[in-house]
């Protein structure tokens, strides 16, 4: 359950105010109309739909409609049972028991049982890049058709939170898929939609699953969980890579909803009486990533000098994104938001201090390479402005602009001779510390950091939330103080919705149950 | 003639081999690793290594090249790393889109390009010539993504005559197919029309200065007959060469146009494959394009013999 901090209350009030004026408001006032096909202009299409291999947003969005996991996230991104009736954690935090919902059918008509669940987890542990979550599993047990038990070797206080992940989701598949190689499954889930026609690079259709039984313990949709009622016959994802084409499709009525609009293009839709542009928060957080195993930024003080020189306001302005300032690696209002204690390292904008820190670091004009790419203009423009800020503080900066694939690969591998780059993290700030861990270590290439290692050990070891929050506070402080990552902003997602598409809920991804066409 | 065709095809084999090896090496020289892209940024190193092993990317590059060539010789283009399907299937699915677009654009380019070139040459140094050549210059110079965006705003958003994006297969509906392609085809053709018009004009001017044209005029042959029969026919060699070049460019797929109009064609496939470092798809597509160039060149040679009786290959 989320706490109503001032920030969260303000956001809620703002949303409420928007809803009263926006044409989205009648969602609550009208009875849903049945039928029709929602046309969704999406920026690209999935390459594959094996949930256990899926990390890209376009894949996950389709998968969220077709498949369901045992545990998923509600509208506040907290863990809630989906295919599990409920869940029970043993006192020692090692055994997790999931009573399964009865009568849940796969799209091929078979009923889901614990054998399917077990097969899914076994395959996951073999093929999925997210399999580290299951590394400590001692055994899976299926005492009967409707009970699934996972036993771990050691206590894991956040195991349930790990199972709710929407990235490489633990979507339940029929046991027949157990030995299918990675990315080669039949797309058969239990979700409220099933896969229809799919022409790669062109379009993909998900059709209403007439045999779907929604959970009856909720009043309506709630994030990925709750009561999922489908009013439309189908949703057609049209893949329109060009943002101009997506805007044109909204203007001509060839699309009912679109996403990934650059801010300047979204503005073209203002004043259109058939379409409403919306910016959805929370979406992603932008960071500067500082390579801590590459000279000269392997020197903590050099990294800190970079952070001290950063003027976040100018970076946001340059990025041209709908972005908000927020010092934290999580969102205000969330369980792990630790208040202003960790705010001191944000937006310091103090080139003089940075110059002093550089001197103390023994910096001698060594080249600092800023790498970015041509594919994402917000990244490139932030890096170009950052270069000027760092030069003003006396750093010898070289800008290296490449393509996104090279840039991203270099960030992951640590190769390419870069010192600073920039990217956005979308699911990690929402999902919390356990999801941050890989990125915190991998992107800045952290080596031998005892503060982080100890804090993470503490984080996993306590069943008490307050201990875990305290551990996270240390982790966040170390990342920001050590300038492994420098926070830039919270970026919103610019979308547009036809005024006669009702029931839209602002969420990290677009979810089509509970939506209907008023025509 | 048959001997010539066989000879040209035999000649094409080493060309294709060079294309194949060069593409392979260039792709593998690019930084960036498909395994990390497939795994996603949340993956740990062990998972990335496993994917690399599964895809055979952990083997030395010469070994990968050898395996690829051996498979190629058996007609196996390999499997796409990202699309999870055979490269041949991926290309086969997209080829009709690109061919439809190319043929339609070509069908628009030929009459307009030639007509403008001939008109400009016949009325050389008059306002007609200037107007046509300025238009041709605009066609060649203005980036087609910009024209495409303006065209969508005018014909789709404002007038509502044509769909703004997307592709309708021919077997679904002819009118839908034509409506989905006419706008991208015209935008694509604008550049080619400009290019062809300029080349035709220059070829026509050379011919119109020849003695035999003056002779024809002097003996009172009708102007239209001189232009069509005596002058234009003698420019055909150049026109065919340029037209062939244009056609091979079109079959290469227009990356920009396919992107803007969301046409699932070869150009879009190629760009996505390059971004994703999907080596087999890039290699397979480049080979196909190489083959298209070679094939069209053979075709042009055959047409030479038809349009110019002096050309004999035996």
CATH code of residue A163: 3.40.190.10
Choice among A419-423, A514-518, B16-20 with the minimum mean pLDDT = B16-20
Chain B partners of A439 at a C-beta cutoff of 8 Å?
41-42
Are B112 and B59 in the same domain?
no
Record the tokens describing residue B90, joined without a space.
Answer: 């991926």
**How many domains is chain B partitioned into structurally?**
2
Q: Smallest CA–CA separation between B260 and chain A, in Å?
A: 5
Under the phi-then-psi rule, with left for phi > 0, alpha for psi from -120 to 50, and beta for the rest, what region is A271? Answer: left
Residues B148 and B250 in one domain: yes
Q: A68 with A111, same domain? A: yes
Whether B217 is covered by a domain: the verdict is: yes
Residue A246 resides in a domain: no
| Same structural domain, A504 and A428 | no
Interchain contact A16–B (C-beta under 8 A) = no
Partners of A404 on chain B (C-beta within 8 Å) are 275
Chain B contact for A128 (CB, 8 A cutoff): yes
Which range, of A107-121, A226-240, A383-397, B133-147, averages the lowest pLDDT? Answer: B133-147
Partner A contacted by B202 (CB < 8 A): no
**B9 and B145 belong to one structural domain:** no
Taking only residues 145 to 174 of chain B, the set having a beta carbon closer than 8 angstroms to any beta carbon of chain A reads 149, 152-153, 156-157, 160, 163-167
Whether A147 maps to a domain, the answer reads yes
Distance CA A155, CA A461 (A): 6
Token representation of residue B108: 């628009």
Name which residue leads in pLDDT, A145 or B209. Answer: A145
Q: Are residues B34 and B127 in the same domain?
A: no
Residue B260 lies in a domain: yes
Same domain, yes or no, for A26 and A175?
yes
Strands (E), A91-153: 95-99, 137-144, 147-152
List chain B residues with CB under 8 Å of A199.
93, 264
Q: Which residues pair with A495 in a beta bridge?
A: A278
User: What is the pTM (predicted TM-score) of this model?
Assistant: 0.87
What pLDDT, in 10s, does the model give residues A378-408?
999 999 999 999 999 999 999 999 988 889 8
Q: Given a cut of 60, is residue A14 above it in pLDDT?
A: no
* CA-CA-CA-CA dihedral for A438, A440, A445, A450, to nearest 10: -100
Q: How many angstroms separate the CA of residue A65 from the nearest CA in chain B?
A: 21
**CA A73, CA A508: separation in Å to the nearest integer?**
11
Same-domain check for residues B126 and B238: yes
A296 and A408: one domain? yes
Q: Is residue A408 within 8 angstroms of chain B, CB to CB?
A: yes
Q: Which residue of A has its CA nearest to B49?
A: A129
What's chain B's average pLDDT? 88
Core vs surface per residue A380-412: b (16+ CB within 10 A) or e: bbbbebbbebbeebbbebebbebbbbbbbbbbb
Which of B40, B153, B167 is closest, CB to CB, to A55?
A: B40
B242 and B190 co-located in one domain: yes
pLDDT digits (tens, 9 = 90+) for B137-192: 998 899 888 999 999 999 999 999 999 999 999 999 999 999 999 999 999 999 89
Alpha-carbon gap: B159 to the closest alpha carbon of chain A (Å):
10
Average pLDDT of chain A, as a whole number: 91
Count structural domains, chain A.
Answer: 2
Instruction: Supply the DSSP string of B3-72, one letter for each residue.
Output: HHHHHHHHHHHHHHHHHHHHHHHHHHHSS--HHHHHH-TT--HHHHHHHHHHTTTTS-HHHHHHHHHHHH
Residues 297-326 of A with CB under 8 A from B: none
Statement to judge: residues B250 and B169 lie in one domain: yes
B36 and B161 fall within a common domain = no
Query: What's the pLDDT score for residue B47?
Result: 77
Q: Which residues from chain A sit within 8 angstroms of residue B81, using beta carbons?
A: none
Tell me which chain A residues have a C-beta less than 8 angstroms from the C-beta of B266.
none
ipTM score for this prediction: 0.83
* Cross-chain residue pair B41–A406, CB shorter than 8 Å: no
Do A392 and A334 belong together in one domain? yes
Residue A15 scores a pLDDT above 60: no
A509 and A473 assigned to the same domain: no
3-class SS letters over A164-233:
CCCCCCCECCCHHHCCCCCCCCCCCCCCCEEEEEEECCCEEEEEECCCCCCCCCCCCEECCEECCCCCCC
Which residue range forms the structural domain that includes residue B43? 2-73
Token pair recorded at residue B132:
């046509």
Q: What per-residue confidence (pLDDT) applies to A29?
A: 54
Examine the domain organization and report whether A172 and A291 are in the same domain. Answer: no
Residue A410 near chain B (CB below 8 Å): yes
Percent of chain A at pLDDT exceeding 90: 78
pLDDT interval class at A5 (50, 70, 90): very low
Q: Is the backbone of residue A324 left (phi > 0), alpha (psi -120 to 50) or beta?
A: beta
- Domain-embedded: residue A410: yes
Mean pLDDT, to the nearest integer, of A109-120? 97
Please indicate whether residue B229 or residue A32 has the higher confidence score (pLDDT): A32
Q: Is residue A245 part of a domain?
A: no
Please judge whether A201 and B275 are an interchain contact, meaning their C-beta atoms are less than 8 angstroms apart.
Answer: no
Q: Are residues A108 and A16 in the same domain?
A: yes
- Residue B222 burial (CB count, 10 A): 11
The reported pLDDT for the residue numbered B314 is: 58
Judgement on whether residues B67 and B172 belong to the same structural domain of the protein: no
Sign of the alpha-carbon torsion through A323, A327, A328, A329? positive
Alpha helices in B74-208 (DSSP H): 87-122, 127-141, 144-151, 174-208
Q: Looking at the structure, tell me whether residues A86 and A234 fall in a common domain.
A: yes
Could you tell me if A329 and A487 are in contact, meaning their C-beta atoms sit under 8 angstroms apart?
Answer: yes
Asked if B140 and B238 sit in the same domain, the reply is yes
Do B9 and B67 share a domain, yes or no?
Answer: yes
Q: Is A382 on the interface with B (CB under 8 A)?
A: no
Q: Is B71 near chain A, with CB under 8 Å?
A: no
> Do A346 and A294 share a structural domain?
yes
Tell me the CATH number at B163.
Answer: 1.10.3720.10
Closest CB to A129 among B39, B166, B262: B39
Given B27, B43, B73, which residue is the final one in a domain?
A: B73
Same domain for B240 and B108: yes
Domain extent for A187: 2-239+500-517
Chain A (423-452) residues lying within 8 Å, Cβ to Cβ, of chain B: 427, 435, 438-439, 442-443
CATH of the domain at A416: 3.10.105.10
């Amino acid at each position: 359950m989320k706490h109503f901090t001032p920030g969260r209350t303000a956001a809620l009030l703002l949303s409420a105010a928007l809803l009263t004026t926006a044409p989205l408001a009648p969602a609550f006032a009208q009875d849903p109309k049945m039928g029709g096909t929602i046309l969704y202009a999406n920026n690209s299409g999935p390459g594959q739909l094996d949930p256990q291999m899926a990390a890209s947003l376009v894949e996950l969005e389709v998968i969220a409609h077709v498949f369901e996991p045992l545990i998923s996230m509600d509208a506040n991104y907290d863990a809630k049972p989906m295919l599990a009736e409920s869940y029970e954690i043993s006192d020692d935090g090692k055994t997790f028991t999931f009573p399964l919902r009865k009568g849940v059918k796969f799209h091929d008509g078979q009923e889901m049982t614990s054998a399917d669940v077990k097969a899914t987890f076994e395959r996951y542990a073999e093929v999925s890049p997210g399999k580290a979550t299951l590394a400590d599993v001692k055994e899976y047990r299926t005492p009967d058709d409707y009970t699934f038990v996972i036993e771990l070797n050691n206590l894991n206080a956040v195991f349930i939170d790990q199972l709710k992940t929407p990235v490489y989701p633990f979507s339940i598949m029929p046991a027949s898929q157990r030995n299918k190689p990675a990315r080669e499954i039949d797309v058969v889930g239990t979700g409220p939609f099933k896969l229809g026609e799919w022409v790669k690079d062109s379009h993909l259709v998900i059709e209403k699953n007439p045999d779907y039984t929604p959970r009856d313990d909720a009043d309506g949709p709630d994030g990925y969980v709750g009561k999922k009622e489908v009013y439309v016959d189908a949703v057609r994802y049209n893949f329109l890579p060009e943002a101009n084409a997506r805007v044109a499709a909204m203007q001509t009525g060839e699309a009912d909803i679109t996403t990934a609009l650059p801010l300047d293009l979204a503005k073209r839709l203002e004043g259109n009486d058939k379409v409403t542009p919306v910016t959805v928060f929370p979406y992603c957080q932008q960071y500067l990533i500082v390579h801590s195993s590459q000279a000269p930024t392997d020197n903590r003080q050099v990294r800190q000098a970079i952070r001290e020189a950063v003027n976040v306001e100018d970076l946001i302005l340059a990025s041209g994104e709908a972005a908000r300032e927020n010092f934290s690696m999580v969102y205000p209002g969330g369980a792990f938001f630790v208040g202003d204690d960790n705010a001191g390292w944000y937006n310091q904008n103090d080139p003089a201090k940075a110059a002093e820190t550089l001197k103390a670091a023994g910096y001698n004009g060594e080249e600092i390479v800023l790498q970015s790419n041509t594919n994402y203009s917000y990244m490139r423009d932030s890096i170009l402005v950052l270069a000027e800020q760092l030069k003003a503080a006396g750093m010898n900066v070289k800008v290296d602009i490449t393509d996104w694939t090279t840039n991203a690969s270099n960030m992951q591998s640590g190769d390419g001779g870069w010192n600073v780059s920039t990217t956005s993290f979308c699911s990690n700030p929402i999902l919390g510390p356990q999801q941050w861990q890989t990125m915190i270590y991998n992107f800045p290439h952290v080596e031998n950091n005892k503060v982080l290692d100890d804090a993470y050990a503490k984080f996993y070891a306590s069943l008490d939330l307050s201990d875990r929050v305290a551990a996270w506070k240390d982790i966040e402080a170390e990342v920001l103080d050590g300038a492994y990552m420098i926070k830039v902003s919270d970026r919103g997602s610019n979308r547009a919705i036809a005024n006669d598409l009702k029931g839209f809920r602002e969420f990290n991804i677009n979810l089509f149950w509970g939506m209907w066409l008023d025509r | 003639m048959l001997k010539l065709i066989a000879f040209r095809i035999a000649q094409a084999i080493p060309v294709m081999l060079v294309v194949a090896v060069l593409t392979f090496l260039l792709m593998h020289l690019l930084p960036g690793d498909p395994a990390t892209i497939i795994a996603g940024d949340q993956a740990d190193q062990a998972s990335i290594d496993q994917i690399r092993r599964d895809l055979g990317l952990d083997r030395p590059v010469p070994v990968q090249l050898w395996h690829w060539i051996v498979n190629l010789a058996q007609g196996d283009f390999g499997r796409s790393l990202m699309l999870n399907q055979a490269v041949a299937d991926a290309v086969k699915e997209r080829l009709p889109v690109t061919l439809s677009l190319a043929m339609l654009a070509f069908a628009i380019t030929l009459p307009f390009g030639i007509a403008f070139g001939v008109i400009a040459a016949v009325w050389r140094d008059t306002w007609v010539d200037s107007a046509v050549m300025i238009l041709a210059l605009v066609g060649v110079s203005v980036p087609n993504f910009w024209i495409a965006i303006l065209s969508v705003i005018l014909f789709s958003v404002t007038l509502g005559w044509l769909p703004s994006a997307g592709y309708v297969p021919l077997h679904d509906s002819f009118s839908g197919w034509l409506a989905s392609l006419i706008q991208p085809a015209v935008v694509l053709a604008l550049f080619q029309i400009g290019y062809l018009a300029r080349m035709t004009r220059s070829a026509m001017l050379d011919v119109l200065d020849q003695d035999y044209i003056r002779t024809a005029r002097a003996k009172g042959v009708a102007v239209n007959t001189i232009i069509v029969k005596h002058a234009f026919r003698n420019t055909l060699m150049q026109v065919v060469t340029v037209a062939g070049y244009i056609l091979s460019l079109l079959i290469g797929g227009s990356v920009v146009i396919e992107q803007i109009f969301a046409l699932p064609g070869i150009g879009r496939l190629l760009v996505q494959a390059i971004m994703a470092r999907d080596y087999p798809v890039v290699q397979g597509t480049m080979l196909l394009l190489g083959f298209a160039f070679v094939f069209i060149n053979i075709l042009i040679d055959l047409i030479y013999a038809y349009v110019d009786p002096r050309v004999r290959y035996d």
